Amino acid sequence: MRSFIFVCLLGFVLPSFAQQATTSITPLSDRLVSYTIKAELNPDTKTIKGTQRLTWRNPDSVPVDELQFHLYLNAFKDDKSTFMKESGGVHRGNSASSENPWGGIDISSMRLADDEGDLRPNLPVGSGLDLTDSIEFIHPDDDNADDQTVFLVKLPRSVAPGETLALDFVFESRLPEIIARTGWEIADSGEPFFFVGQWFPKIAVLEIPGQRYVPKDAPKGEWNAHQFHANSEFYADFGTYDVTLDVPESYEVGASGIKVEESIQNGIKTLRYKADDVIDFAWTASPDFLEYTQQWRHVFIRALIQPAHKGQAQRHIDAAIVALERYDEWIGEYPYTTLTVVDGIGDSNGMEYPTLITAGTTYGLPTWARVLELVTIHEFGHQYFMGLLASNEFEEAWLDEGMNSYIESRIVDDAYGRGSVIELGHFKIGDIAAQRLGYVKQKPSKGALITKSWEYTMGDYGKASYAKPATVMNTLERYWGWDMQQKFLKAYYAQWRFKHPSTRDLQDVAEQVSGEDLDWFFDQFVYGTAVVDYAIDSISNTKKEDDSYSSRVRIWRKYDGIFPVSIRLTFADGSVQDQSWDGQDEWKDIRVAGPSRLVEAFIDPEFDVLVDINRLNNRKVVADLASNQFARQVQFRSITFYQKLFFVLSGLF
């Protein structure tokens, strides 16, 4: 540990604190922040009393005189928060049912640390060190003065470039009834279940010149701190966590990082966890959990399962291994040594935190319905796109949710086959198909991927952050092949893990790897709202005097989207001819001459352009083969019907 350096500020001493000892031999990230937290869960009052020492290093080249923080739990403080106003108190179909569902964070003390040791909240506060009364709630995204999810503090004196300050907090978190990711629920056993996410005062990200969209020639960095919205998630810097938790002795606990100590005294279980090179720390506690474990290479997998679902415990672990194996092969190594999969309750499920995910299931879920596997694989994928790459989920949700949904669809279909999501006899639905359906059937012309999460209109956030980018990336893969796509994904991960990439950075990597200018692709399908739909308008044949034929196919580009496609022409003698078209013109005539008449034209017969919103108009046959055309249309429409059915049913799990 390096020596402490002290900086004189307005007559008092502000120590420069070295980062704490870590569980990694070599730091993987810049570790701008460090949290040492001691917390006590009271299951009766559903509160957590905590003390926290936060150290933060100024990454800018100029002094910083203001800090900004998140208090995410204040989204559940009352019905006046921005989250509650936007959501109406309902999230993913979940709403509170108790008489007192509210939560929040109260800070009773915030001060600049005046000692070199651990947090000692009972010491007298030195002159000028107390910042509690300087807390000022701000609302950078809207005019809601009642929202208290972001606050700033003006410092008595600036923090110099490269210097580290320490802040000591005393706080109490009141956990809400779970309607969105975090809080408490009463299990079927009558016992309380807790999932504790975004539960402590958390410093925002200071983006410095040249980082993401801050101009390189900007005079100083900018705080990126957004309120907690109904459609948004989180953004934080990499750092280290040393967290000590006190819970009732009978409770089983799962948490981010590695458990390094455990003891029991007077009915209280004390657990200490360390997590390095991560952007967050979350935990869960319940007296009902059943624990199942398995080792995969360097990763210790732990599943915490509700008793009613114990028969599905291995399914969670197997799905996690499927994800670990393919991410390792396709993207890059998982650098952590633990992974905890939680079978949560209510809307705690389907959520991700560093080394800790919630997947959930339902009683009696049949093996032919792989919703459990899909969710487990999806939430694990966030370890990469949310956790290791740590893009800004407020402003560019698609870089996390969308890229993750793309890889999820590839993994699920690769691991489980054509009926990867539902496989009931001959009725089979895959994940790639389901993702495409979620895009093409939900107003595909609305919602650019590059949109701040809270600026999407109702329904567009889910489509534009999950289904559409998955479909766009699957189309890019088919455009240039899996080998190129894999090189791109590996390079993106290698260059940008632990560095907060932007959409621009992702495109730069794709262009570097492929050697191709991809503005045409990103401008249409990432920055824009282009819609692709190519249709065969007509087929005509003219018989010549020598009994040969002159044939014409008329193709219609129905919307503004442009994508290169192939056209397969089939003739009466069984011969086939493939042609390529750049897709530019609104109308395209293809003329061919030969000994046999043209009987069928098929745009994109290999189904490479998944962003084409209507496959039913891609094929046309001549009039005397109309019965075949009708049969094919019936087949397409049947598939569409069943995919719609799956789309509705999947929302029930």
Give residue 637's pLDDT. Answer: 55
Tell me how far apart the alpha carbons of residues 526 and 504 are, in angstroms, rounded to a whole number. Answer: 10
The yes/no answer on whether domain 5-288 falls in CATH 2.60.40.1730 is: yes
For residues 638, 639, 641, 646, the Cα torsion angle rounded to the nearest 10 degrees is 150
Burial of 198 (0-12, 13-18, 19+ CB in 10 A): buried
Averaged pLDDT for residues 186-192: 97
The yes-or-no verdict on residue 642 having pLDDT over 80 is no
* β-bridge partners, 612: 532
Residue 249, sorted as left (phi over 0), alpha (psi -120 to 50) or beta, turns out to be alpha
9 — pLDDT class (breaks 50, 70, 90): very low
The yes-or-no verdict on residue 18 having pLDDT over 50 is no
Secondary structure of residue 319 in the 3-state scheme: helix
Tell me how far apart the alpha carbons of residues 528 and 354 are, in angstroms, rounded to a whole number. Answer: 32
- 532-582, pLDDT tens digit by residue? 999 999 999 999 999 999 999 999 999 999 999 999 999 999 999 999 999
**For helices 482-496 and 503-514, angle between their N-to-C axes, nearest 10 degrees:** 130
Q: What is the DSSP letter of 543?
A: E
Secondary structure of residue 266 in the 3-state scheme: coil
Give residue 3's pLDDT. Answer: 29
Best CA proximity match to 500, nearest among 396, 410, 586 = 396
Give residue 407's pLDDT. Answer: 98
Q: What sign has the CA pseudo-torsion 147, 149, 155, 159? A: negative
Token pair listed for 473: 């990336």
* β-bridge partners, 294: 301
Token pair listed for 251: 């409770």
Tell me how far apart the alpha carbons of residues 473 and 526 are, in angstroms, rounded to a whole number. Answer: 10
Tell me how far apart the alpha carbons of residues 564 and 583 are, in angstroms, rounded to a whole number. Answer: 5
Give residue 297's pLDDT. Answer: 97
Total residues found in the chain within this entry: 653
Tell me how far apart the alpha carbons of residues 244 and 356 are, in angstroms, rounded to a whole number. Answer: 17
- 420-438, pLDDT tens digit by residue? 999 999 999 999 999 999 9
What is the number of H-type helices and E-type strands within the chain? 12, 35
* β-bridge partners, 580: 566
The yes-or-no verdict on residue 643 having pLDDT over 70 is no
Q: Which value, in Å, is the radius of gyration of the alpha carbons in the chain? A: 28
- 252-309, pLDDT tens digit by residue? 999 999 999 999 999 999 999 999 999 999 999 999 999 999 999 999 999 999 999 9
Give residue 459's pLDDT. Answer: 83
The yes-or-no verdict on residue 21 having pLDDT over 70 is no
Mean pLDDT of the chain: 92
CB 178 within 8 A of CB 94: yes
For tokens 């994109």, what's the residue? 604
Q: State the alpha helices, DSSP H only, in 139-248.
A: none
Please give the C-alpha separations between residue 421 and each of 381, 410, 413, 417, 645, in angstroms, as whole numbers. 17, 12, 8, 9, 13
For tokens 């030969």, what's the residue? 594
- 82-122, pLDDT tens digit by residue? 999 999 999 888 888 888 899 999 999 999 997 655 555 55
The yes-or-no verdict on residue 648 having pLDDT over 70 is no
CATH topology match: 5-288 vs 293-514: no
Residue 74 dihedral angles phi and psi, to the nearest 5°: -70, -10
Q: At 481, which amino acid appears?
A: G
Each domain of the chain, given as residue ranges in start order, spans 5-288, 293-514, 534-650
* β-bridge partners, 91: 94
Token pair listed for 472: 């766009």
The yes-or-no verdict on residue 151 having pLDDT over 50 is yes
Question: CB-based contacts of 168: which residues, under 8 Å, 6+ apart?
Answer: 51, 52, 53, 54, 109, 110, 111, 112, 113, 119, 120, 121
640 — pLDDT class (breaks 50, 70, 90): low
Give residue 95's pLDDT. Answer: 86
What fold, for 293-514?
Neutral Protease; domain 2 (1.10.390)
Averaged pLDDT for residues 242-261: 98
CB 592 within 8 A of CB 569: yes
The yes-or-no verdict on residue 639 having pLDDT over 90 is no
Q: Which CATH number, 2.40.360, 2.60.40, 3.40.50, 2.60.120, labels domain 534-650?
A: 2.60.40
The yes-or-no verdict on residue 364 having pLDDT over 90 is yes
Averaged pLDDT for residues 521-533: 98
3-state secondary structure 67-112: EEEECHHHHHCCCCCHHHHHHCCEECCEECCCCCCCCEEEEEEEEE
Secondary structure of residue 208 in the 3-state scheme: coil
242 — pLDDT class (breaks 50, 70, 90): very high
Give residue 70's pLDDT. Answer: 98
The yes-or-no verdict on residue 15 having pLDDT over 80 is no
Token pair listed for 27: 């730091």
